[in-house]
């Protein structure tokens, strides 16, 4: 579908065919991994195509099957050119496809597989990347949505479907329910434990009550 693929890979993991850019380091958590990839893509001479939109997500997220990446990117730039924050460019924005109704449409309240514009990525959190680095797994996507709302640049698109093929998904159906399932062996972090959820929910709630300190624009 026309995407350039960038991956964070554990040390010793071979780069798969079709991957345009890879970082091989110990996994630091989702937020730091995404921020680092975007930072290096923006500054790397080897990337060569000056990316304007970054689509973030885990390895269980699929692209929309009906529209190519360049078409979606052009639509995002046009949308934020017209409806974006005054004084910013066409890539100061966040777009989240919401056509996947997995788990009763949980995607409506998070930016779990967001399209992040280059200007947004380089300016929020005082230039330190588009995701709050203290999160390692849970609540990073919920804060991203809150920050996009804070700056009035969130676009949710129910016409686009990026299936989240989570191991807790009942089926590939667009309206699949959630099922309890054993965590796959390759997932070694604690992101799906109750203790992890409680810890980062507390951080999120405290940050939201305080207006998300540190999220100011560069």
Domain boundaries, the chain: 5-209
Residue-level pLDDT at 88: 97
Residue-level pLDDT at 16: 94
Is the CB of residue 174 less than 8 Å from the CB of residue 107? no
Q: Two tokens at 135?
A: 């999160």
Residue-level pLDDT at 55: 98
In the chain (218 residues long), the average pLDDT of successive 10-residue segments reads: 94 92 94 96 71 94 97 98 97 98 96 98 97 96 98 98 95 94 80 90 98 97
Residue-level pLDDT at 45: 60
Q: Two tokens at 30?
A: 């989702």
Residue-level pLDDT at 35: 98
Neighbours of 1 (CB within 10 A): 13
3-state secondary structure of 173: coil
Residue-level pLDDT at 47: 57
The whole-angstrom separation of Cα 217 and Cα 130 is: 11
- The pTM of the full predicted model, rounded to 2 decimals, is 0.95
Half-sphere exposure of 68 (CA within 13 A, CB side): 6
Residue-level pLDDT at 46: 52
pLDDT tens, residue by residue, 74-95: 999 999 999 999 999 999 999 9
């Amino acid at each position: 579908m026309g995407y350039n693929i960038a991956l964070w890979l554990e040390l010793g993991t071979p780069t798969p065919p079709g991957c345009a850019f890879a970082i091989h380091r110990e996994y630091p958590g989702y937020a730091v991994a995404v921020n680092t990839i975007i930072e290096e893509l923006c500054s790397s001479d080897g990337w060569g195509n000056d990316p304007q939109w970054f689509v973030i997500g885990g390895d269980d997220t699929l692209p929309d099957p009906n529209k190519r990446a360049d078409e979606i990117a052009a639509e995002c730039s046009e949308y934020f050119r017209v409806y974006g924050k005054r004084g910013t460019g066409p890539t100061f924005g966040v777009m989240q496809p919401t056509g996947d109704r997995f788990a009763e449409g949980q995607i409506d309240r998070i930016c779990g597989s967001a399209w992040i514009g280059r200007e947004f990525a380089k300016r929020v959190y005082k230039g330190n990347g588009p995701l709050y680095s203290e999160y390692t797994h849970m609540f990073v996507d919920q804060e991203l949505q809150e920050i996009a709302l804070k700056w009035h640049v969130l676009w949710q698109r129910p016409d686009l479907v990026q299936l989240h093929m989570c191991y807790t998904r009942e089926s590939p159906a667009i309206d699949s329910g959630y099922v309890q399932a054993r965590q796959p062996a390759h997932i070694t972090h604690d992101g799906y434990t109750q203790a992890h959820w409680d810890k980062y929910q507390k951080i999120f709630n405290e940050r939201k009550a305080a207006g998300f300190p540190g999220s100011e624009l560069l």
